[in-house]
């Protein structure tokens, strides 16, 4: 067991160093693909904090992405704020927004909370579409990154990469702290958590605020990377669904599960889309079904089992029983 733990640590360090120096060897398409994978990894990890740990399915969580994107865009174009300053305002502003709206909305449970978050997503999209400050339905164009497209690709590669690392470290801290204990208690039985002295409301609000912070930072970085955004692009429901698939396939309520799920789905989507354009949804759906059947606890469960085929087969038999 100890040897396998050491091997896992070496594996993680090796992967970190690999991604750190990838731009020295890869260009263009691969840099953009990896940046996109890092971005969805952060989004999946963010939704994991509120859904995987607390059990609250915030399906409309992409409204924090759009909020972060438009905050950065408006501050940079209308008020000439620098990118990093705009980014911090976007992140902390989204967290504050989550605290304010979370107080009433987080009193809802199950499908009611889910529908409320989707309603917020649609509400913000309509407000942004009809607001002159945001450019309305025509969207808003941001300043071009200094140094051109190539410099922008490398900058946002490292931006999304280190944001992913930061989200992992934050989730790891949560999982080992009393916050993680409280989050899991709320997830499994909120009433029982109240009985043992855990007040669910501040913990749920904290979880959603952290989730909002990372989601908004991702949206803000995406806006500057793309140099153009519009309401229909950043306030979509499908990316939220995609984030949930990544979280569940990788392992909900784990530190690295959503990261593994994000990498898997983005890579498979890219391969299938490029080679089987007309059948890509069918093939992707089939792959997802097979993954759920053979790894019901997510990809991270394979790592915990040491990637042992015999243990995997035993796990499959146990699930059948």
- d(Cα 231, Cα 126) in Å, to the nearest integer? 8
* 3 state SS for 85-129: HHHHHHHHHHHHHHHHHHHHHCCCCHHHHHHHHHHHHHHHHHHHH
**pLDDT values of the chain reduced to their tens digit, one per residue, 321 residues:** 556 566 777 888 899 999 999 998 888 889 999 999 999 999 999 999 999 999 999 999 999 999 999 999 999 999 999 999 999 999 999 999 999 999 999 999 889 999 999 999 999 999 999 999 999 999 999 999 998 889 999 999 999 999 999 999 999 999 999 999 999 999 999 999 999 999 999 999 999 999 999 999 999 999 999 999 999 999 999 888 889 889 988 999 999 999 999 998 898 888 777 666 666 667 767 777 877 787 777 877 776 665 544 454 444 444 444
Which run of H or of E encompasses 263? Answer: helix 257-275
- d(Cα 259, Cα 256) in Å, to the nearest integer? 5
What's residue 321's pLDDT?
A: 42
Closest CA to 77 of 15, 159, 144: 144
Q: Are 53 and 187 in contact (CB under 8 A)?
A: yes
Half-sphere exposure of 275 (CA within 13 A, CB side): 8
What's residue 225's pLDDT?
A: 97
> Which contacts of 232-236 are long-range, i.e. CB under 8 A and separated by 24 or more positions?
232/125, 232/137, 233/139, 234/62, 234/65, 234/66, 234/69, 234/70, 235/62, 235/63, 235/66, 235/121, 235/122, 235/124, 235/125, 235/128, 236/62
Name 228's bridge partners.
141
If you ran DSSP here, which 8-state letter would residue 54 be given?
T
What's residue 11's pLDDT?
A: 81
What's residue 9's pLDDT?
A: 76
What's residue 148's pLDDT?
A: 87
Domains of the chain from N-terminus onward:
26-293 (1.10.3470)
What's residue 300's pLDDT?
A: 79
Q: Are 182 and 203 in contact (CB under 8 A)?
A: yes
What's residue 151's pLDDT?
A: 94
Which run of H or of E encompasses 141? Answer: strand 140-141
Residue showing tokens 């499994």: 188
Please give the C-alpha separations between residue 203 and each of 25, 96, 139, 174, 260, in angstroms, as whole numbers.
44, 14, 36, 11, 26
What is the pTM assigned to this prediction? Answer: 0.91
What's residue 313's pLDDT?
A: 47
């Amino acid at each position: 067991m100890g040897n396998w733990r050491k091997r896992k640590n070496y594996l993680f360090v090796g992967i970190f160093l690999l991604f750190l120096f990838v731009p020295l060897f890869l260009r263009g398409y691969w840099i953009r693909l990896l940046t996109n994978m890092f971005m969805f990894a952060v989004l999946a990890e963010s939704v994991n904090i509120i859904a995987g740990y607390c059990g609250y399915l915030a399906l409309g969580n992409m409204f924090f992405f759009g909020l972060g994107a438009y905050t950065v865009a408006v501050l940079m174009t209308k008020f000439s704020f620098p990118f990093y300053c705009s980014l911090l305002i976007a992140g902390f502003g989204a967290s504050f927004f989550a605290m304010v709206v979370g107080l009433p909305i987080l009193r809802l449970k199950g499908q009611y909370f889910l529908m409320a978050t989707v309603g917020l997503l649609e509400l913000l999209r309509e407000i942004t579409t009809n607001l002159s400050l945001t450019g309305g339905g025509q969207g808003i164009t941001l300043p071009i990154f200094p140094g051109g497209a190539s410099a922008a690709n490398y900058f946002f590669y490292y931006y999304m990469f280190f944001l992913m690392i930061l989200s992992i470290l934050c989730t790891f801290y949560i999982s080992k702290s009393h916050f993680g204990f409280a989050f899991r208690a709320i997830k499994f039985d909120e009433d029982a958590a109240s009985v043992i002295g855990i007040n669910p409301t501040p913990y749920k609000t904290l979880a959603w605020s952290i989730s909002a912070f990372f989601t908004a930072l991702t949206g803000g970085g995406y806006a500057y990377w793309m140099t153009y955004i519009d309401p229909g692009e950043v306030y979509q429901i499908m990316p939220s669904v995609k984030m949930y698939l990544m979280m569940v396939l990788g392992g909900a309520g784990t530190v690295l599960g959503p990261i593994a799920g994000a990498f898997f789905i983005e890579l498979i989507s890219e391969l299938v889309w490029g080679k089987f354009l007309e059948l890509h949804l069918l093939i992707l759906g089939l792959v997802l079904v097979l993954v759920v059947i053979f790894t019901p606890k997510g990809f991270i469960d394979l790592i915990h089992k040491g990637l042992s085929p015999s243990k995997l087969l035993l796990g499959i038999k146990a699930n059948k029983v």
